[in-house]
Amino acid sequence: MTDRKTMTLNLTKAEMKALDSLAQQKDLTKTAILRQALRLYQLVEVRLAEGGKLFFEHEHKKEKAELMVL
Amino acid sequence: MSERRPIRLLDRSTGELVNAFLIDEVSKEQVFAAHGVWQPYREKALRRLRVQKISWPEHWHWDWSQKARKLDFLAYRCIGVEHHDEMQGLMMLSTIHRQSRWRGHEGKPTIYIEYIESAPWNLAALAESPKFAGIGTRLLEAAVEFSVQEGCAGRLALHSLPQSETFYRRYMTETAVDPVSDSFLTYFEMTADQAPTIRRLADVLRLPASQLLVLSGNVSAPNEKVHKAAVQFAARIHEAEKLNPEQAKALRDFVQALMEAA
């Protein structure tokens, strides 16, 4: 088991609402949602730095839309 | 820091169970080291198969030194099985949850298994006398456990090479919808309900896990009595090898219901 550290997070009401909503929708804890976000963000950042692009593709129409990540 | 947990493997040469360890977080360096041992064995085995004109396993080209680079990211986790300081199997998981495509579980977070492989000397497709059995099963159990820790309730998904489909059909179910539309591989999922219980039942009763799945109600129970007995047994059983009187009775009832349904 990885060693863990605790931190306090300051979120706006809207941010907390979004977090609550995602946690409820996915049936995950808020910590798990934030952990997912961090994993994804780190992966995306490195792929973009390597020259990759991030797209959303419609499952049926096959239309692609590029997602801008700064 | 990773943990090492004792597990058991079957030594094929003696038929005895031997002690091994499950490593819950294999480091990049450990994967490189395993590759360094596996690769020469694999190359030698492939040369022998070429001379003997025997087809190669579909994953002959897998290179764990490349896969190890994924461990630079939080998005991946590697779990391993070790025996006497020698890696006997590796599994790479994606820690970014996928969405289940299973009917009734659509959209629920699921752990995706990227790669899973036993050391080449344990593979019947490469070794003349495979050394250990049970590695794939122990790794799947570890994946279920990780899925539970992650809040995914034991749900797993993977794409299987054609040669491995028989193995995965013992534990998982092919779903109607594959998230990768152009994949030539078969997409499997496992739900929380079917994961450990079905395997234990299959082992105890020496029945195919896929048929038990149907009987247990994950697909559709053909008979209400069978369904009820299976659920009652599944709810009570904890460790198939050590049944208490109540569990043993539940097992007998279940077997009886199976026999009556046959």
Q: Residue B62, Cα to own-chain centre: how many angstroms?
A: 18
- Cα dist from B195 to A25, B24, B118, B168, B240, whole Å: 23, 19, 20, 12, 14
CATH number for the domain harbouring residue B167: 3.40.630.30
Residue A2 lies in a domain: no
Whether B176 and B248 map to the same domain: the answer is no
Provide the edge-to-edge strand list for the sheet that holds B132-133: B132-133, B4-11, B16-23, B76-83, B86-99, B109-118, B156-160, B186-190, B173-174
Scanning B72-127, the segments in alpha helix (DSSP H) are: none
- Cβ-nearest to B151 among A3, A32, A46: A32
- B30 and B129 fall within a common domain: yes
Q: Which of B172, B195, B218 is the last residue of a domain?
A: B195
Number of domains in chain B: 2
Per-residue pLDDT tens digits for B43-100: 999 999 888 888 888 888 899 999 999 999 999 999 999 999 999 999 999 999 999 9
Q: Are residues B96 and B133 in the same domain?
A: yes
Shared domain check, B162 and B72: yes
- Collapsing DSSP to helix, strand or coil, B9 comes out as strand
Beta-carbon neighbour count of residue B227 at 10 Å? 17
Min Cα separation A60/chain B (Å): 9
ipTM attached to this prediction:
0.86
- Which residues of chain B lie closer than 8 angstroms to A37, CB-CB? none
Same domain flag for B248 and B126: no
| Residue from B76, B97, B105, B152 to probe the interface with A (highest A Cβ count within 10 Å) | B97
A40: contact with B, CB 8 A cutoff: yes
Q: Residue B252's pLDDT is what?
A: 65
Q: Write down the pTM of the prediction.
A: 0.77
CB atoms B96 and A36 under 8 Å: yes
Most B CBs within 10 Å, among A22, A24, A25, A28, to test the B interface: A28
Q: Is residue A58 part of a domain?
A: yes
pLDDT band at B221 (very low <50, low <70, confident <90, very high): very low
Residues B159 and B35 in one domain: yes
Domain of B229 in residue numbering reads as: 197-262
Place of tokens 């025996």: B83
